[in-house]
A and B are shown apart, each in its own frame.
Chain A
Amino acid sequence: DGGITQSPKYLFRKEGQNVTLSCEQNLNHDAMYWYRQDPGQGLRLIYYSQIVNDFQKGDIAEGYSVSREKKESFPLTVTSAQKNPTAFYLCASKEGTGTYNSPLHFGNGTRLTVT
């Protein structure tokens, strides 16, 4: 079955450490996205990529970095510069790069806790 796999489901880190969240899709989608979810704030866009080797900042990119070396993979690194990294992180993809009427497909998320 096609889908998006995020790993790990739960991640614990000490403050000051960088951590990388994995996102892999086998849907052959061009566009991939990273969202952060906090209680009562909905989803906020961190980064998105519409094609391999290219990506754009979203609303809250500070303290995060991404890469898109392969179509299937879009890892997110939460750096020590991110002031409040504890959150639920969601990866998504959709087909096409300019298709505004295509829905997003989501992974099951990674819950990151930094202490």
Chain B
Amino acid sequence: AQSVTQLDSHVSVSEGTPVLLRCNYSSSYSPSLFWYVQHPNKGLQLLLKYTSAATLVKGINGFEAEFKKSETSFHLTKPSAHMSDAAEYFCVVSDRGGSQGNLIFGKGTKLSVKP
């Protein structure tokens, strides 16, 4: 069975400092993993995806994530936060054994960026 855990419900950083949003997953198969961003009252936008190619995945807006099978993690990072990064971020897992439309969402991490 699939599952995904976002380890922090809220992360606060200062502008210009690094961002780390943590995600652990569970999957019985080789999973696909996604990170989405949601700004207030908007839909979700895909930041990046891992689908069994390179383990370090680069996404939009300077974000990247590293797939670590041994740690069952897919943490999202950015070297320097910008005010516009303030939003909610969702980690999503999918594998061929899943039902419910194949995708499982984490509960989200709200990122605040202080000036």
List the interface of chain A (C-beta within 8 A of B): 4, 6, 31, 33, 40-43, 45, 48, 56, 58-59, 88, 90, 92, 98, 100-101, 103-109, 111
Contacts and interface: CB of A to CB of B under 8 A. Distances in A.
Interface residues of B, number: 27
Interface of B: 9, 32, 34, 36, 41-46, 49, 51-52, 90, 92, 94-96, 98, 100-103, 105-108
Main secondary structure, interface of B, reads mixed
B42 A108 contact: yes
6 contacts: A33-B101, A90-B43, A90-B44, A101-B51, A104-B36, A106-B45
Contacts of A103: 34, 46, 49
B72 to A, nearest CB: 17
Contacts of A33: 101
Contacts of B95: 100
B90 A45 contact: no
Given A107-B43, A108-B43, A41 B107 contact: yes
